[in-house]
Structure 1
């Protein structure tokens, strides 16, 4: 990194930080604030950033070309968001240099360990059980939500990995949730079909996108706010349509 133009390196650091934040579920206000702080602390003048959920463009004074990055995959990994914020604060307090910040951001991008499939499914199962009890007060049938929620979340992760189509995975997983919930009820193992479905679909509900959409709209970002809201609405429609189909033809 020693041969890098410091101004260009600062732009790349800001761009990479913004990319990591958007890809891992940060709202746009946080993204813009982090990018502009990095640019300011690096001594970039007239720094400008255009951020959307699908791409970022940055430019600065005395730099001949703007820098851009295409964002195609988005998921929720708040550990990476927290790590990027920590690196940004360390650079602001002069604990690390510009080159060290760039290298650390690259390590966050490539080297942050992912939770195992088993851990994610277990977390989904616990979430299904807990929220079923919280929302419905039904403790007796909560074991069914635990099993159905965890197993169907595994199916969602598999379909997402296999076909790279998020909405298809949510639709098919919700179909299976409805089928299994009806099956356990008809076999007499459980008594409240609605409560089981409510608990089991909770890991698929787009809570973070809805929250970020609201925060983006409140902060005046009229591009990313409606885009994220539409993304959350499509997810909710995929889940809802699947459950309606199962209940209609069961």
Structure 2
């Protein structure tokens, strides 16, 4: 393998690692740092990376000429297990335990792996978490089961609507509306006591906690574009949730 080919191979490995991390919910500065550390460990000392929530730009300066590649990120989710696995590959490259070809093979396996829990597990976790949040916010145990039902129904609707129309704002707005309607129905039927506690607990699985955390961490790390864009996305999600509940409360 000649030098030109190896340089582009190193870029591909670094970009693949960055792509997996960014799609799995990693912070922007962590993606940039991992890519640059991997390139350095593979023998490329002069590198530059620029990462936003939707684009990864990676450049290598070798023998006086800069080589740059760009990839587009269209889908993002939360899978911190994949982030940890990519970090593990990066550490093995830095320690010399893994070569370029082995790293590429392992990263492709990580990219193709389905590590998330099944939908039924996620639905059950969202439902139980809703009830627990209601108790945490000083709701009564009478409101526990209504919160479980409303939170589970809202999560189910959010996933279903997102599959029908891949617009995050739309699915979260409709899901929060369903939560508001279910919560009001439980209160009307005498199955719950405090409407506000049921609603607050039920919408918590929809709240973009990781997105808010990453936005703050990126801003603190000096990545202003990424921090502001993630903050704007989190604000739109919160606005969609609040709007759905507001529509229900204003009409009923």
Task: Give the TM-score band, short-chain normalised.
Answer: over 0.9
Moved more, 74-83 or 197-206: 74-83
Q: 1:215-237: CA deviations, max 9, x gaps? A: 01111111100000000000000
The CA distance in 1 between the partners of 2:70 and 2:230, in whole Å, is 21
Structure 2 residues without counterparts, runs of 5 or longer: none
Shift of 1:99: 0.9
1:1-250 alignment runs, 5 A limit:
5-62=5-62, 65-250=67-252
Of 109-118 and 186-195, more deviation after overlay is shown by 109-118
Native 8 Å contact 2:81 2:115 kept in 1: no
Quote how far apart the aligned CAs of 1:247 are.
0.4
Tell me: CA distance 1:10–1:124, structure 2 relative to 1, closer, same or farther (3 Å).
Answer: same
1:157-211 Cα deviation digits (max 9, x unpaired) = 1111222111111000000000000001011111111110001000000101100
SS in 1 for 2:224: coil
Q: CA deviation at 1:4?
A: 8.6
Q: Show structure 1 runs of 4+ deviating over 3 A.
A: 1-4
RMSD: 1.7
Shift in Å, 1:138: 2.3
The 2-side partners of 1:138 and 1:212 are apart by: 33
Provide the C-alpha distance between the structure 1 equivalents of 2:50 and 2:78, rounded to a whole number of angstroms: 22
Q: TM-score, normalised by structure 1?
A: 0.95
Q: Which runs of 5+ in 1 are unaligned?
A: none
**Contact kept? 1:80, 1:112, Cα under 8 Å:** no
How far off its partner does 1:153 sit? 0.5
Deviation at 1:3, TM superposition (A): 11
Tell me the TM-score normalised to structure 2 length.
0.95
> CA separation in 1, counterparts of 2:15 and 2:32?
10
C-alpha separation between the residues in 2 aligned to 1:2 and 1:183? 69
Rate the CA distance shift 1:4–1:181 in 2: closer, same or farther, 3 A: farther
Higher mean C-alpha deviation, range 131-140 or range 238-247: 131-140
SS of 1:45's equivalent? coil
Q: Partner of 1:50: helix, strand, or coil? A: strand
Greater CA drift, 56-65 or 102-111: 56-65
Residues 113 and 72 (structure 1), Cα distance of their counterparts in 2 relative to 1, 3 Å cut: same
